Amino acid sequence: MFQNKHVIRASFVGLFLAILASIFFYRYYTIKSIVVESVLKQNTNITKFYVKNIWNKYVDSASLLKPKNLNDAVKDQNFKDFANESLKFLKDQRIPKIDIINIDKDVLLTTRDTELMENNSFNIFERINIMIDEYFLGKHSYDDSLKKVFNGEITFNIILGSTLKNPPDGVPRIYVESFIPLINLDSDPYAVNGAFRVLSNITEEWDKIKYFENRVSIFLLTVFSLFFVVVIFNTQHAQKIIDQQVANNRFLIEAREKAESESSAKTQFLANVSHELRTPLNAIIGFSEVILTEAYGKLEHPQYSEYIQDINNSGKHLLSVINDILDFSKASADKLKVDMIEVDVTKLASSSLRFVKPRADEAKVTLVEKIPKDHIVIKADPKRLKQALLNLLSNSVKFTPENGSVTLQLDKNSQENKVYIKVIDTGIGMEEKDIPKALTSFGQIDNKLSRKYEGTGLGLPLTKKLVELMGGKFEIKSKPNLGTTVTISFKCEDF
């Protein structure tokens, strides 16, 4: 983000400089394409009028075309008439200075006997600015301009920061020095017989453009400054937020790694403890069954028989819990393997119902069988599938009050190519928000009825893992006091 922050700021500054540069170059475009073009058009019209009404009248005079000596030309009456009419016409144009130049590059006439004088009162910054302007506007030498004009081209120079001598007022002005050919349209072919050199003052137009440019630049600089402050503030604020997010992410990653490590350690601990408990439990269950069968003699007191039965039942229950813990630990560590073979799910479902019936009878819960007569064969692990069904049926019986019912329903959808196994009870149910908790390891919904039977809270999460390991899908829907429906399904490729 540190780099991105500076990229954003640099881009913003670059955009602003690009806008300023556009304004800067637009000034030169405006001067060249609008101001100078307008001046050249005006001067060209003056030249055309002059050529038509005055120049062509005297152009046949040798003294005008190629005078051997200007002093001799002055004595020529034709030249005097030409000069009088020309000066009267040119001075009426109210242009700072107009020169008429013949083809020998001699100045025949001028409205002001003065030349431009460079102003030296500029400071270093103003001089640099003038140099930049001259570079972009272009500047030609006097000789180059005359060469072009006698080739029939109209050319111009923009002269910055100069004043006309005589009288020197010391005020620098901006001039356009235009060179316009004097063409005799009556000759065949057309011939350039002279040139107009016109100095036009464009200081006012220049100042207006500069004024507009300065105001726009100040406005943009103000707006840019405000936006730049906002950008800096926002990027700094974003930097803090992102830094905080990075820190939080790092903390969460560390917490997740720690939790995974602790979970792995807990799973390993449970697996180790479970293995250690199974050996004495098997001994307890085995010896209690030997005593119950009275293989070595009858129990003298009937109360002993009852106690041994409780010991046997408790041992079996504890062994079942330990087995669940072992299976869940293996499934969590992806070490629980399933053998996918063809299974007659119809027979397996009926067998599971018969296995749960004693517990249902004890809890006074009715078991309902909705299993088709046709045999439905799927690919699954028969041991794990039966374990999953027994977990679901036992769980439903456990949480169903007396006189309730638990239904095992088996359906085959030929169109979808799926088998649906549903366990539906009329038990206590649970809120939708409690379903994720019931599916977590050791998760139990705390209510009085849920404590009717002991349990570890591994039944549903273990069943879900077993079904998913076999490629099935596990879904659960429940509503308080209306019951719970658990659906497991297998895709068509599992047949």
pLDDT at residue 235 in the model: 77
Task: In whole angstroms, give the CA distance from residue 34 to residue 401.
Answer: 97
The percentage of residues in the chain with a pLDDT greater than 70, rounded to a whole number, is: 82
**174 pLDDT more than 80:** yes
Span 14-60, pLDDT tens digits: 777 777 777 777 777 788 778 888 888 998 898 888 888 888 877 66
Joined tokens for residue 65: 């075309």
- Domains with residue ranges and CATH for the chain: 2-201 (3.30.450.20), 337-494 (3.30.565.10)
Among 136-140, 224-228, 327-331, the least confident range? 327-331
What is the rounded average pLDDT for all residues in the chain? 79
Task: In whole angstroms, give the CA distance from residue 228 to residue 475.
Answer: 55
**H helices of 293-337, where?**
302-332
Q: pTM score, two decimals?
A: 0.45
Task: In whole angstroms, give the CA distance from residue 166 to residue 97.
Answer: 12
**pLDDT interval class at 451 (50, 70, 90):** very low
Overall average pLDDT of the 171-185 stretch:
82
**406 pLDDT more than 90:** yes
Measure Cα distances from 495 to 347, 418, 490 in Å: 16, 8, 8
Containing 42, the helix (H) or strand (E) segment is helix 37-50
Span 349-389, pLDDT tens digits: 888 888 888 889 988 999 999 988 888 888 888 888 888 88
- CA dihedral over 203, 205, 206, 212, signed as positive or negative: positive
| 491/469: higher pLDDT | 469
**323 pLDDT more than 70:** yes
∠ CA 364-370-373, rounded to 5°:
135
Task: In whole angstroms, give the CA distance from residue 144 to residue 245.
Answer: 69
Span 256-284, pLDDT tens digits: 888 877 777 776 776 677 667 777 878 88
* Cα 399 → chain centroid: 51
Q: State the angle between helix axes of 77-91 and 37-50 in degrees (0 to 180), rounded to the nearest 10.
A: 140
Question: Do residues 98 and 104 touch, judged by C-beta distance below 8 A?
Answer: no
Containing 426, the helix (H) or strand (E) segment is none
Dihedral angle, C-alpha 220, 221, 227, 229, nearest 10 °: -170
**407 pLDDT more than 90:** yes
